[in-house]
Amino acid sequence: MLRFVSRRTVLTSSCRLVETHASSCPEVSSNLLNVHNSNDRAQSGITRSFHASAKHEILPLLAVGTIALVGRYSWKALRRMDEDWEEYEYLMEQHEKQKARENPHEHASRTMAVDVGTVYTKLAVSYPKPEVIVTREGDRFFFNGIFYTDESMDRSSSLSGRAALERYFYSENTVEDRANSKTIWSVLNPPNDGVVDEAEASKLISDLLSPAIAEAMDRLDYQSKEDLLRTVVTLPNQLLVSVPALTSFVKSLDTKTRTTFLPNSVAAVWGAQSKNLLPEDYDGKTNKTVVIDVGGETTQLSMVERNLVKYTISVPWGGETLVRLVVDLLKKESSVPLQDARSLSALQAQARAAVAELTSQTRVPVHVPYLFPDPGKHHLDAALSRYVVEQAVNHHIRNTLSETLPGENYLSTHMPPPTNLESLLMSVLTQLLEASNETPMSIDSVLVVGGASKFPLVDSSIRSACFAFMGSDANTKLVIPEVSLRTELTVLGCTTLLPSYDYELGEGLKRTNS
């Protein structure tokens, strides 16, 4: 009878036979192990050339770890040295500024400061003392525009100053461009994000600033431009990032001296420090200042720390917005649309005068002779109250700005849409704090500058917004200078730049080699 034996049984028996034979013969056992090891290495494709030892594995690991540890601490030490050096340089800057303030005659330098705003420009000198230059018309500022009387745009036949301001007007209708004055702001900041015409900007700035600077030097003791150590130009923060704008300013100044560009919010802080309105940074204490600059075309909120603008927001609302709203109110008195340049410029001149008077009065009369073509009513005679203007401002913010500003990252997403000037400032201030990673408690001071800040509605709205954020701390943190100083702190701050320092955008004060 045949017996069938399974493969497993045969293999098991074979393995037992091999094990028994291997145990009885050590040489066979060794050969079998070598065969298995060779097969394993051949299958894996890995050949081991050394055994684990301190020389081959542990020492290299220790060397790599030591190098990494030393490199890490060396990098930290170098970074700490850089931080300490920057701190030392900053303290030296503050010390030298303090010495210059205590002994102004020993540190006096010849500096021409040019504060180019959105509507007006102011000039100041540092020698023999910091002071604003008065124009030949008796003003402490001049209009930022020029009127060319012919198509060739010849500077010799152009109008500037008050004469150009009288020809300037706002209109939504299409009016011949040659009939209106050209402004620096409209050229450097074209509507609808247009492209800046560098050639036009350079000519306009040169035609406007060069005669003004030359006239100022003629009335001072500066015999030539070589007597100046430097020219310091301060601009709104949004214009400082425009390379064509900076190039145009350098070309227009036509001077062999150094030209330094400075953010207007930093210059405002320096001006407030020179008037002892803000403290200096001493003993490692860094002051964080929010600068609210209510200018002509924009209201700019900036976070300033260590002579640098940490973050800035520019809202398209300013003193000229009040003028436009008053013009719209006065246009309602006419039975026919006003579209000619003479009527619009005359109406705007009276509107600007009315806004200025409403800062100290609650109601003003407005008279514009021969404004209307209507035979029965040639002249405009109206009365304008501050309350009506304030209601027009709130209506404009609620129905116009609230629809256009959210898409430009001006307003905070955590605040409701603004309905008046106070809520607009609160939303913008919240956005500024969020973007700069600050809190109301970390802010040391809030500085208010700008000519439009003297309007009662603007002044009260700023105070209310700051009190809503800071509570009772706003009594000590809110710095609102006198009305006469609010428009001049920025240009006076430019004159305090020490002769041994220059200002580099994005880096701050840098000591010069000279």
Q: Which residue has the tokens 């060319």?
A: 148
- pLDDT mean over 17-41: 47
The two domains 109-262+503-514 and 278-316+410-480 share their CATH topology (first three levels equal): yes
pLDDT surpasses 50 at 188: yes
Contact by Cβ (8 Å): 321, 298: no
Pairing of strands 120-125, 131-132: antiparallel
For the chain, domain boundaries: 79-107, 109-262+503-514, 278-316+410-480, 320-397
Contact by Cβ (8 Å): 235, 261: yes
Q: How far apart are CA 304 and CA 268, in angstroms?
A: 10
pLDDT digits (tens, 9 = 90+) for 260-315: 889 999 999 999 998 999 988 765 677 899 999 999 999 999 999 989 999 999 99
What is the reported pLDDT for 53? Answer: 59
CA nearest neighbour of 451 among 341, 344, 293: 293
CB count within 10 Å of CB 167 equals 20
pLDDT surpasses 70 at 193: no
Strand partners, 158: 148
Q: Does domain 109-262+503-514 sit in CATH 3.90.1150.10?
A: no
- pLDDT mean over 185-209: 79
pLDDT surpasses 60 at 123: yes
CA nearest neighbour of 179 among 341, 397, 422: 341
Buried b (16+ CB within 10 A) or exposed e, 356-383: bebbeeeebebebeebbeeeeeeebeee
Q: Highest-confidence range of 26-35, 37-46, 90-99, by mean pLDDT? A: 90-99
Q: CATH second-level architecture of 278-316+410-480?
A: 2-Layer Sandwich (3.30)
What is the rounded radius of gyration, in angstroms, for the C-alpha atoms of the chain? Answer: 37
- pLDDT mean over 359-364: 95
| Phi, psi at 98, each rounded to 5° | -65, -40
What is the reported pLDDT for 33? Answer: 42
What is the reported pLDDT for 21? Answer: 45
What number does CATH give the domain 320-397? 3.90.640.10
Among 62-76, 108-122, 317-331, 343-357, name the one with the lowest average pLDDT. 62-76
Q: How far apart are CA 428 and CA 461, in angstroms?
A: 13
Structure tokens at 372: 């209307």
pLDDT digits (tens, 9 = 90+) for 481-490: 999 899 999 9
Contact by Cβ (8 Å): 124, 495: yes
Q: End-to-end CA distance of the chain, in Å?
A: 118
Q: What is the pTM of this model?
A: 0.80
pLDDT band at 1 (very low <50, low <70, confident <90, very high): very low
pLDDT digits (tens, 9 = 90+) for 421-467: 999 999 999 999 999 999 999 999 999 999 999 999 999 999 999 99
pLDDT surpasses 60 at 15: no
The residue type of 141 is F
Q: How far apart, in Å, are the Cα atoms of 46 and each of 41, 294, 334, 340?
A: 6, 76, 98, 93
Q: How far apart are CA 350 and CA 366, in angstroms?
A: 7
- DSSP reduced 3-state for 279: coil
What is the reported pLDDT for 90? Answer: 67
Structure tokens at 105: 């005659």
CA nearest neighbour of 355 among 327, 331, 333, 382: 327
Q: How far apart are CA 411 and CA 402, in angstroms?
A: 9
What is the reported pLDDT for 225? Answer: 52
The residue type of 404 is T
Query: What are the strands of the beta sheet with 288-294, ordered from one edge?
Result: 308-315, 299-305, 288-294, 445-449, 478-479
pLDDT surpasses 50 at 109: yes
Angle at 122 between CA 118 and CA 128, to 5 degrees: 155
Q: What is the mean pLDDT of the chain?
A: 80
As a three-state string, the secondary structure of 406-451 is HHHCCCCCCCCCCCCHHHHHHHHHHHHHHHCCCCHHHCCEEEEECH
* DSSP 8-state class, residue 370: T
